[in-house]
Chains A and B, each alone.
Chain A
Amino acid sequence: MIEVQQLTKHYRVHKRPPGLAAALKSLFKREYTAVKAVDGITFDIKAGERVGFLGPNGAGKTTTLKTLAGLLHPSSGQVRVDGHVPQKREAEYLKKIMLVMGQKQQLLWDLPPAETFEMNRAIYDVPRADFTRRMKELGDLLELGELVNKPTRQLSLGERMKCELAAALVHGPKVLFLDEPTIGLDVSMQVVMRDFIRRYNEQYGATLILTSHYMDDVAALCPRVIVIDKGTLSFDGKLDDLVQKVRPEKRVTLRFSQPVTREQVSPLGQVVTCEGAQAVLQVSHDQVNSVVGRALATLPVMDLNVENPPLEEVMSELFARSRANREEQAA
């Protein structure tokens, strides 16, 4: 469905230091720096896959999404989405895709979302019967109810994002690019959005590419992740494999019937936290059974839980390693 080969996107950015003198100088002589937003990435995505793009700010995730959506021309490399070259922005291609950006909106600000839905129906030439059926489904899935008849400006952020998603799906896109779709939403609304996105993918077989700084989004939605850092692809595979690669240790959470001290638990493994009647240990994968056995034998354990380290920590470590590598290479 999506084929990307050696995609690069380089920008020339005007560089100007702060201050009046620099402003005046820039009138006559300008300095530019080259920014390698995307620097030779290659990947394929099959139809119906859900893929998360991960990376720190400025990694090139949004640039890649915009290139796939046809908004940006690649500096070099090949991009094909469902047989189309996105940068040509052919009408037939635009009818198959949608890019949802959490920080940009397509809803008409002064009018109720229903007006945007109707406008999109006309623009995408969706038959009336299909439109009615799809809006009913979207309304049910997203619990839109009367929201669609309130002016957009009077909706809360969460309500607006639900309507944004509905507006984006009026034409039933086969490929959905989601750029931070849950940004700024409260936890319960994030869950609603994730649930909806997964159901849309399952129901319509749509291909999803998601960028998000909320690792819960990625963990809940994306069996496969592509990690981009400074424009280069540093990992492409299953999320579990990424976690194993970066942090092969497991987190063992122990809950006790009475408070314990750090000294009591430290012989078991690396103590992440130890507060009152709860301790979290980090132990290597092959020592989990032994540690659990010793904990049960020596401490007043009421309950225990073994899980992977939080994705945020995994990503943070991955990016720190990449940064260190770059600095080492530069040195």
Chain B
Amino acid sequence: MIGRSLRALPALVRVGFVESLAYRTEMIIWVFSTTMPLVMMTLWTAVARSVPVVGGGGKSWGTTAFVSYFLSVFIVRQLISGWAGWEMYYEVRQGTLAMRLLRPIHPLLSYGVGNLAALPLRAAVTLPVIVVLFATNARDHLSHDWHVWLLFPFALVGGWVITFFANVAIGALSLFMESSVKLMDVWLAAFFVFSGYLFPLDLFPDWLTAAAKWLPFRYQIGLPVELMTGVHTWESALPLLAKQWAWAAALIVASLAIWNRGLARFQAFGG
């Protein structure tokens, strides 16, 4: 089964990519829907121009620091996105999960590949932002330690794994409850606040920053962005990376457990 699954991957990736290009209008709307970090960047740079903004660690946030931060957030957000939870929810409700279960390939693999297949399109949207980030003085706030940049891909993959398997865990709850998307809304609300998506965690009160460091959301966006923006050294980044992958492992285990139990229930009660 593994060999066949691997052989099927290129076709699954290709189909997923072609699907992501199917609607031109939807694609434009989607591009606009991803601009929240740019909106927040405008907001926070305006604030920084009016009053000094100082973070919990005493870091002074000037306009270019905010530009660097939110452009990095934009890039990371694009590359760690996942939406398997919604797919699973709709497929369970509409009964089309059965069609996926009939295929001799693990359903989670097909969800994962489908999500990853949109990466080229997302990378294309990200490219101009990367150019701006490196071509302007925003680059002054990026890490200059190449060791840290070596860790960045691992942090990015870890962020995606957390996002995807959190989606799987919540989506698989559709097999137990009527509306798992409500839980997804709760997850997303916490994600927006605690991931660093809307504002740097550094700007939270100390106790909230400390709490955020124990939650998974920070490891989805916050950690990769902190690596990009030079917050950490190689030495200080490694334990954080370990924490990130501990969250990833926990979510993999939890989501597989929920999926397997949910599937057994689905098969026991029908769908």
Encode A111-134 as 1/0 by CB contact (under 8 A) with B. 100010011111111000000000
B18 and A91 within 8 A (CB): no
Task: Check B19 for interface membership: any CB of A closer than 8 A.
Answer: yes
**A12 neighbours in B (Cβ, 8 Å):** 269
A123 to B267, CA, bound (A): 22
A69 to B268, CA, bound (A): 14
The 7 closest A-B pairs by CB, nearest first: A122-B11, A110-B22, A91-B104, A94-B104, A122-B8, A106-B99, A91-B1
Summed over the interface, the residue pairs from A and B with CB atoms below 8 Å come to a total of: 84
B12 and A122 within 8 A (CB): yes
| A63-B270 contact given A71-B101, A123-B104, CB 8 Å threshold | yes
| A94-B102 contact given A11-B269, A115-B18, CB 8 Å threshold | yes
**B98 neighbours in A (Cβ, 8 Å):** 66, 71, 99, 101, 104
A97 to B95, CA, bound (A): 19
Task: Check B4 for interface membership: any CB of A closer than 8 A.
Answer: yes
Task: Check A246 for interface membership: any CB of B closer than 8 A.
Answer: no
Give the shortest distance, in Å, between B253 (CB) and chain A (any CB): 22
Name B's A-contacting residues (CB within 8 A).
Answer: 1, 4, 7-8, 10-12, 15, 18-19, 22-23, 94-96, 98-99, 101-105, 264, 267-271
A125 and B267 within 8 A (CB): no
| A98-B12 contact given A12-B269, A71-B267, A115-B18, CB 8 Å threshold | no
A69 to B94, CA, bound (A): 18
A181 to B269, CA, bound (A): 24
Task: Check A271 for interface membership: any CB of B closer than 8 A.
Answer: no
Most buried by A among B94, B96, B268: B268
B99 and A111 within 8 A (CB): no
B105 and A123 within 8 A (CB): yes
Task: Check A277 for interface membership: any CB of B closer than 8 A.
Answer: no
B22 and A72 within 8 A (CB): no
**A66 neighbours in B (Cβ, 8 Å):** 98, 270
How extensive is the interface on chain A, given as a class? 35 or more
A72 and B267 within 8 A (CB): yes
Give the shortest distance, in Å, between A13 (CB) and chain B (any CB): 9
Give the shortest distance, in Å, between B114 (CB) and chain A (any CB): 10
A122 and B7 within 8 A (CB): yes
**B270 neighbours in A (Cβ, 8 Å):** 11, 37, 63, 66, 72
| A108-B15 contact given A91-B104, A94-B102, A99-B102, CB 8 Å threshold | yes
Residue of chain B at shortest CB distance from A168: B102
**B96 neighbours in A (Cβ, 8 Å):** 104-106
| CB pairs A–B below 8 angstroms (16 shown) | A91-B4, A97-B102, A99-B98, A104-B95, A104-B98, A104-B99, A106-B96, A106-B99, A110-B23, A118-B15, A119-B15, A120-B103, A122-B11, A123-B11, A123-B105, A151-B22
Task: Check A89 for interface membership: any CB of B closer than 8 A.
Answer: yes
Most buried by B among A73, A98, A99, A121: A73
A151 to B267, CA, bound (A): 32
A98 to B4, CA, bound (A): 18
Give the shortest distance, in Å, between B270 (CB) and chain A (any CB): 6
**A110 neighbours in B (Cβ, 8 Å):** 19, 22-23
Residue of chain B at shortest CB distance from A107: B99
